[in-house]
Amino acid sequence: MTGGDELAAILSALDNPHRLRILAALKVGGRNYVSQLAREIGISRPLLHLHLNKLEEAGLVTSQLELSADGKALNYFEVVAFHVELTPETVAAAAATLSDKPEK
Protein backbone atom coordinates (compact mmCIF):
# COMPACT_ATOMS: atom_id res chain seq x y z
CA MET A 1 0.00 0.00 0.00
CA THR A 2 2.30 2.68 -1.25
CA GLY A 3 0.98 6.25 -1.21
CA GLY A 4 1.01 8.28 -4.38
CA ASP A 5 3.67 10.74 -3.34
CA GLU A 6 5.77 8.02 -1.85
CA LEU A 7 5.63 6.00 -5.05
CA ALA A 8 6.36 9.10 -7.10
CA ALA A 9 9.48 9.73 -5.03
CA ILE A 10 10.63 6.16 -5.51
CA LEU A 11 10.03 6.24 -9.25
CA SER A 12 11.81 9.56 -9.53
CA ALA A 13 14.74 8.19 -7.56
CA LEU A 14 15.00 5.12 -9.77
CA ASP A 15 14.71 7.07 -13.01
CA ASN A 16 18.43 7.47 -13.53
CA PRO A 17 21.09 4.98 -14.66
CA HIS A 18 23.61 6.23 -12.11
CA ARG A 19 21.23 5.66 -9.26
CA LEU A 20 20.38 2.17 -10.48
CA ARG A 21 24.08 1.36 -10.53
CA ILE A 22 24.58 2.88 -7.11
CA LEU A 23 21.87 0.65 -5.68
CA ALA A 24 23.37 -2.33 -7.47
CA ALA A 25 26.85 -1.56 -6.14
CA LEU A 26 25.57 -1.26 -2.58
CA LYS A 27 23.48 -4.40 -2.90
CA VAL A 28 26.25 -6.53 -4.39
CA GLY A 29 29.27 -5.01 -2.63
CA GLY A 30 27.58 -4.27 0.65
CA ARG A 31 27.64 -1.04 2.60
CA ASN A 32 30.20 1.53 1.57
CA TYR A 33 31.19 5.13 2.23
CA VAL A 34 30.82 7.81 -0.35
CA SER A 35 34.41 8.57 -1.36
CA GLN A 36 35.18 4.89 -1.81
CA LEU A 37 31.94 4.28 -3.67
CA ALA A 38 32.61 7.23 -5.94
CA ARG A 39 35.95 5.72 -6.90
CA GLU A 40 34.45 2.31 -7.55
CA ILE A 41 31.59 3.58 -9.67
CA GLY A 42 33.71 6.15 -11.42
CA ILE A 43 31.75 9.34 -10.83
CA SER A 44 32.65 12.49 -8.95
CA ARG A 45 32.00 12.69 -5.25
CA PRO A 46 29.69 15.72 -5.39
CA LEU A 47 27.63 13.98 -8.04
CA LEU A 48 27.44 10.78 -6.03
CA HIS A 49 26.49 12.83 -3.01
CA LEU A 50 23.60 14.29 -4.98
CA HIS A 51 22.35 10.91 -6.13
CA LEU A 52 22.68 9.36 -2.69
CA ASN A 53 20.63 12.20 -1.28
CA LYS A 54 17.83 11.52 -3.68
CA LEU A 55 17.92 7.81 -2.96
CA GLU A 56 17.87 8.47 0.75
CA GLU A 57 14.95 10.89 0.49
CA ALA A 58 13.02 8.20 -1.33
CA GLY A 59 13.84 5.79 1.49
CA LEU A 60 15.82 3.38 -0.68
CA VAL A 61 19.10 3.76 1.19
CA THR A 62 20.15 4.79 4.67
CA SER A 63 23.34 6.39 5.93
CA GLN A 64 25.29 6.21 9.13
CA LEU A 65 28.28 8.31 10.10
CA GLU A 66 31.12 6.27 11.59
CA LEU A 67 34.69 6.85 12.69
CA SER A 68 37.34 4.75 10.99
CA ALA A 69 40.29 3.28 12.86
CA ASP A 70 42.48 6.23 11.91
CA GLY A 71 39.90 8.79 12.99
CA LYS A 72 38.33 9.73 9.66
CA ALA A 73 34.62 10.31 9.59
CA LEU A 74 33.10 7.92 7.07
CA ASN A 75 29.50 8.15 5.94
CA TYR A 76 28.36 4.63 5.22
CA PHE A 77 25.38 3.94 2.99
CA GLU A 78 23.44 0.75 2.58
CA VAL A 79 20.39 -0.41 0.67
CA VAL A 80 17.02 -0.61 2.40
CA ALA A 81 14.97 -3.75 1.73
CA PHE A 82 12.19 -2.31 -0.38
CA HIS A 83 9.47 -4.03 -2.34
CA VAL A 84 7.22 -2.22 -4.80
CA GLU A 85 4.78 -3.81 -7.21
CA LEU A 86 4.15 -1.97 -10.43
CA THR A 87 0.87 -2.93 -12.10
CA PRO A 88 -1.99 -0.93 -13.63
CA GLU A 89 -3.87 -1.48 -10.36
CA THR A 90 -1.15 -0.26 -8.02
CA VAL A 91 -0.39 2.68 -10.29
CA ALA A 92 -4.06 3.66 -10.45
CA ALA A 93 -4.38 3.41 -6.68
CA ALA A 94 -1.29 5.54 -6.15
CA ALA A 95 -2.34 8.13 -8.72
CA ALA A 96 -5.57 8.62 -6.80
CA THR A 97 -3.65 9.87 -3.76
CA LEU A 98 -1.23 12.14 -5.58
CA SER A 99 -0.96 15.52 -3.92
CA ASP A 100 0.03 17.45 -7.00
CA LYS A 101 -0.96 21.03 -7.62
CA PRO A 102 -3.91 21.17 -10.01
CA GLU A 103 -4.05 24.96 -9.58
CA LYS A 104 -2.91 26.64 -12.72
Partner DNA sequence: TTCATATGTCAGAAATAACTGACACATGAA
Partner DNA sequence: TTCATGTGTCAGTTATTTCTGACATATGAA
Q: Which chain residues interact with DNA by CB under 7 A?
A: 12, 15-16, 18, 33-36, 43-47, 49-51, 54, 63, 70-75
Distance between CA atoms of residues 17 and 22, nearest Å: 9
Q: Is 50 in the site for a second copy (CB under 8 A)?
A: no
Length of the chain: 104
Q: Contacting a second copy (CB under 8 A), which of 68, 73, 102, 103?
A: 102
- Give the SS3 label for residue 52: helix
Contacts of 56 (CB under 8 A, 6+ apart): 62, 63, 77
Between 43 and 93, name the residue whose CB sits nearer to DNA.
Answer: 43
Write down the least CB distance from residue 39 to a second copy, Å. Answer: 15
